[in-house]
């Protein structure tokens, strides 16, 4: 279980105060207007934001004192997830050993992770030679080899075509089920994710305004703010 | 539509400017060739285009000192940039950044003054060394030249590298944190790709600057043994009044420098970009004890090397009253007029060339034309100012006086020397604007001045202000071409400063240096915030 309890971040022009519970192994879609604090919430969970109050717990363990490297989470950004001078397999290998000195077993793990995202034929390619979707799949493969149980996706598929976006979401869902991951994914088009999400959290003005099953939260009339966001 | 057909047949003003630019280069070459009709070696023996043993020696020594200066500047500047990138917050960081900026824009003559003041025989460094029982070698000679070049170029390297390192995506630093990067991993995955990308351009540029160095070598060279080709041309022109020999050396230097520029463009290296933001980013390796010690050492060493030289101008504070006389006022006015002329010429030329590069059919830029114009501008880097001015002066000789020729040639050559840097500030935003709005402008029938005002001006006004400030700063501090024409009625502030240094009026020279540095820093401040 991931639990945010009044997790507070303050900037001169923005204050976020998040309270949210996500069951273990669930996929939570985080929706809301731009600038509402979705990205800040994910980055705070990953340990990249200066938290001034509240707690983040995962499996009963408080993460607040841990640096990003020791937190049980992997974060995928919308862009720049890969190092441009390293091949696809080297970028994945970073998740195991940053100095890239892998054993045979570890090489096998990298190949397996790339195969699980259907990139077994692209292992030697540089990020510049891959499509946008392929680059994000490499980043997903790296998250898999890191074997961290909490996967945070900060609109990683936002720049992809609708068809590709849906197939990436399906792939993420498959990997979540295979590896027992808990997933938080910010997304702009809720209709892309309703078929796989267990939970939808609506974040606006730095607060989780509503959270619950998709068919409840996204139902017209549930909340005027969500209706306005959905254009209902 | 006969009117529009007639208009389309007229060449773009930028094409005329490019033709003018090429004509000036060709005229300089013709002037050189006519003066050097019988090209001979400095010793007077006819040797055709083959360099004489003297020239071979000059090239060998110049290449050695330039190579040494380049390697040391790159290593020290990069280490300083890495240290400052890792140490995003410590007391005095902004002061160090200010010193780096001041040293980057300080005129060469001011750096020479600083090196002599700090490292010269009675300077604090040799005095301190002798108190410790050490005897340092005299400042004049190869080590003095290299020291001045390192002091001049280390801040440039640091500034370029700081901007390039800060441009690394923020996500990469965060990935490094998440993936538990060690210090070595950070260097390998975050820093090295940036270094590998920036070093070829920086190395070529600094090598070219040091290889064609004039003022530093003339002032600190300690005799003909360390002369560069620029100094050899100056000696032939100013001391021996031997145009033929000057022309033969200049032609030789053009061939060498153009070869370096060609290699420069073949490896795809661009001019170093000093316009990047030098903001600090959180780094995964900031907590490493070993790196903390290394960074403290690097910052301390660089500051001890550079800051005293820059701050030596403060010796002039006590003599500021010496600025209040007719000589300084006249030199200041002359400098300002020449700088304003050079800045207007450089910016106008750059704007015309950049618009010509971007004016293609259907609102799209023409890649071939753009490439040609980019190359013509880059070729100026390979055209040593003395070679250029020698050729043009030969053509004007007998038509105008030395001072009259200087009034025309000093701003012209300063403008041409600033052009590659100014063009780099103006061309990219214009190119971006054409890519974004070119077709829209073409579909609305926007052409000529209307297009410039409505489409280009909003994106160009800041780069134009920065370009004007930069070219004025470069011209204000020039002590190259003015050394040929200076004296009598044509005295600029750097020339006056060099005269005072030569007459051992060090404090008064310091006051002029202070004025020059303040002006250069002020203009850079405007350029950075334009």
* Whether residue A2 has pLDDT greater than 60: yes
B420 - beta bridge partners? none
Per-residue pLDDT, averaged over B7-31, amounts to 74
Higher pLDDT: A198 or B435? It is A198
Task: Answer whether B189 touches A (CB < 8 Å).
Answer: yes
Please give the angle made by the CA atoms of B363, B430 and B170, to the nearest 5 degrees: 120
Helix axes B367-379, B243-266, angle to 10 degrees: 140
Please check whether residue B197 touches A, CB under 8 A: no
> Hey, which residues does A17 pair with through a beta bridge?
A8
The answer to whether residue A202 scores a pLDDT higher than 50 is: yes
Between chain A and chain B, the number of residue pairs with CB atoms below 8 A apart is 51
Task: Convert chain A into a string of H (helix), E (strand) and C (coil).
Answer: CEEEEEEEEEECCEEEEEEEEECCCCEEEEECCCCCCHHHHHHHHHCCCCEEEEEEEECCEECCCCCHHHCCEEEECCCCCCCCCCCHHHHHHCCCCCCCCCCHHHHHHHHHHHHHCCCCCCCCCCHHHCCHHHHHHHHHHHHHHHCCCEEEEECCCCCCCHHHHHHHHHHHHHHHHHHCCEEEEECCCHHHCCCCCCEEEEEECCEEEEEECHHHHCCCCCCHHHHHHHCC
Per mean pLDDT, which range of A44-48, A137-141, B101-105, B409-413 is the poorest?
A: B101-105
Cα–Cα distance for residue pair B3/A38, rounded to 1 Å: 58
The four Cα atoms B352, B356, B357, B362 give a dihedral, to 10 degrees, of: 140
- So what's the ipTM on this one? 0.84
Q: What Rg value do the Cα atoms of chain B yield, rounded?
A: 24
Question: B44 in the Ramachandran plot: left (φ > 0), alpha (ψ -120 to 50) or beta?
Answer: left
Question: B365-392, pLDDT tens digit by residue?
Answer: 566 777 777 777 777 776 777 778 878 8
Chain A residue numbers with beta carbons less than 8 Å from the beta carbon of B179 are: 69, 94-95, 98, 146
For residue B480, the SS3 value is coil
Q: How far is CA B507 from the centre of its chain?
A: 27
* B177–chain A nearest CA distance, Å: 6
Of B302, B278, B315, B274, nearest in space to B85 by CA = B278
Q: For the CA atoms of chain A, what is the radius of gyration?
A: 18
Contact indicator for B471, B342 with CB cutoff of 8 Å? yes
DSSP B28-97: HHHHHHHHTSS-B-TTS-B-TTSPPHHHHHHHHHHHHHHHHHHHHHHHHHHHHHHHHHH--S-TTHHHHH
CB nearest to A46's CB, from B172, B178, B284: B178
Q: Indicate the average pLDDT of chain A.
A: 91
pLDDT given for residue B365 in this prediction: 59
**Whether B193 contacts chain A with CB within 8 A:** yes
pLDDT (tens digit, 9 = 90+) per residue, B406-417?
888 889 889 988
More confidently predicted of A128 and B39? A128
Report whether A1 contacts A58 (CB < 8 A): yes
Do the chains contact at A69 and B171, CB–CB below 8 Å?
A: no
pLDDT at B200: 86
Disruptive mutation site among A44, A84, A98 for chain B (greatest number of B CBs within 10 Å): A98
Q: Distance from B186 to chain A by nearest Cα, in Å? A: 9
- Specify the pTM: 0.81
Q: What is the pLDDT of residue A55?
A: 94
| C-alpha distance from B284 to closest chain A C-alpha (Å) | 10
Question: What distance in Å separates the CA atoms of residue B129 and residue A74, rounded to the nearest whole number?
Answer: 56
B2 Cα to chain A: minimum distance (Å): 47
Return the pLDDT at B382: 67
Per-residue tokens: B222 = 């300690």
CA A177: distance to chain centroid?
15
């Amino acid at each position: 279980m991931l639990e945010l309890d009044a997790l507070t971040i303050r900037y001169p022009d923005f204050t976020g105060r998040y309270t949210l519970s996500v069951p273990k192994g669930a996929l939570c879609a985080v929706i809301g207007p731009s600038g509402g604090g979705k990205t800040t919430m994910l980055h705070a969970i990953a340990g990249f934001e200066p938290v001034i109050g509240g707690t983040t717990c995962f499996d009963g363990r408080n993460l607040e004192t841990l640096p990003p490297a020791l937190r049980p989470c992997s974060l995928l950004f919308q862009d720049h997830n890969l190092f441009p001078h390293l091949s696809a397999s080297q970028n994945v290998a970073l998740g195991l050993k940053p100095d890239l000195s892998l054993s045979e077993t570890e090489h096998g793990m990298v190949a397996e992770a790339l195969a699980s995202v259907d990139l077994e034929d692209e292992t030697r390619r540089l990020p510049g030679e891959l499509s946008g979707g392929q680059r994000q799949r490499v980043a997903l493969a790296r998250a898999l080899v890191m074997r961290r149980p909490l996967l945070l996706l900060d609109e990683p598929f936002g720049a992809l075509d609708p068809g590709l976006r849906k197939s990436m979401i399906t792939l993420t869902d498959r990997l979540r089920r295979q590896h027992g991951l808990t997933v938080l994914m910010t997304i702009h088009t809720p209709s892309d994710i309703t078929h796989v999400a267990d939970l939808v959290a609506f974040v606006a003005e730095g607060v989780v305004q509503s959270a619950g099953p998709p068919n409840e939260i996204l139902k017209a009339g549930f909340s005027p703010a969500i209706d306005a966001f959905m254009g209902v | 539509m006969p009117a529009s057909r007639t208009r389309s047949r007229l060449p773009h003003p930028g094409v005329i400017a490019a033709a003018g630019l090429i004509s000036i280069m060709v005229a300089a070459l013709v002037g050189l060739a006519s003066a050097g009709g019988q090209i001979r070696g400095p010793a007077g023996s006819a040797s055709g285009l083959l360099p004489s043993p003297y020239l071979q020696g000059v090239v060998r020594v110049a290449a050695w000192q330039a190579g040494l200066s380049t390697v040391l500047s790159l290593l020290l500047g990069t280490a300083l940039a890495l240290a400052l990138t890792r140490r995003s917050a410590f007391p005095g960081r902004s002061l160090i950044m200010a010193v780096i900026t001041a040293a980057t824009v300080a005129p060469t003559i001011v750096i020479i003054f600083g090196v002599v003041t700090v490292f010269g025989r009675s300077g604090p460094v040799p005095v301190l060394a002798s108190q410790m029982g050490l005897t340092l070698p005299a400042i004049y000679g190869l080590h003095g030249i290299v020291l001045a070049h390192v002091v001049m170029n280390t801040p440039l390297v640091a500034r370029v590298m700081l901007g390039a390192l800060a441009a690394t995506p923020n996500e990469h630093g965060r990935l490094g944190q998440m993936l538990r990067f060690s210090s070595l991993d950070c260097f390998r995955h975050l820093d090295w790709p940036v270094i590998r990308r920036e070093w070829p351009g920086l190395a070529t540029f600094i090598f070219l600057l040091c290889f064609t160095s004039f003022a530093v070598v003339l002032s600190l060279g300690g005799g003909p043994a360390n002369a560069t080709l620029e100094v050899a041309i100056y000696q032939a022109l100013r001391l021996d009044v031997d145009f033929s020999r000057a022309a033969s050396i200049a032609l030789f230097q053009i061939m060498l420098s153009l070869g370096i520029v060609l290699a420069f463009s073949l490896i795809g290296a661009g001019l170093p970009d000093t316009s990047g933001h030098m903001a600090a980013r959180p780094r995964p390796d900031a907590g490493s004890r070993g790196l903390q010690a290394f960074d403290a050492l690097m910052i301390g060493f660089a500051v001890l090397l550079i800051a005293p030289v820059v701050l030596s101008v403060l010796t002039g504070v006590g003599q500021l009253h010496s600025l209040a006389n007719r000589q300084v006022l006249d030199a200041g006015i002359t400098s300002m007029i020449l700088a304003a002329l050079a800045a207007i010429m450089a910016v106008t030329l750059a704007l015309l060339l950049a618009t010509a590069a971007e004016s293609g059919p259907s609102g799209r830029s023409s890649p071939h034309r753009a490439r040609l114009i980019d190359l013509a501008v880059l070729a100026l880097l390979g055209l040593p100012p003395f070679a250029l001015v020698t050729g043009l002066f030969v053509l004007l000789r007998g038509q105008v006086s030395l001072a009259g020729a200087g009034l025309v040639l000093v701003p012209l050559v300063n403008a041409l020397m600033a052009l590659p840097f100014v063009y780099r500030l103006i061309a990219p935003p214009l190119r971006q604007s054409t890519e974004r709005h070119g077709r829209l402008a073409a579909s609305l029938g926007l052409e000529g001045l209307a297009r410039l005002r409505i489409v280009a001006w909003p994106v160009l006004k800041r780069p134009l202000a920065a370009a004007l400030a930069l070219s004025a700063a470069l011209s204000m501090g020039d002590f190259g071409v003015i050394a040929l024409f200076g004296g009598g009625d044509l005295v600029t502030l750097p020339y006056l400063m060099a005269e005072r240094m030569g007459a051992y009026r060090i404090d008064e020279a310091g006051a002029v240096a202070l004025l020059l540095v303040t002006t250069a820093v002020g203009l850079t401040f405007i350029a950075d915030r334009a």
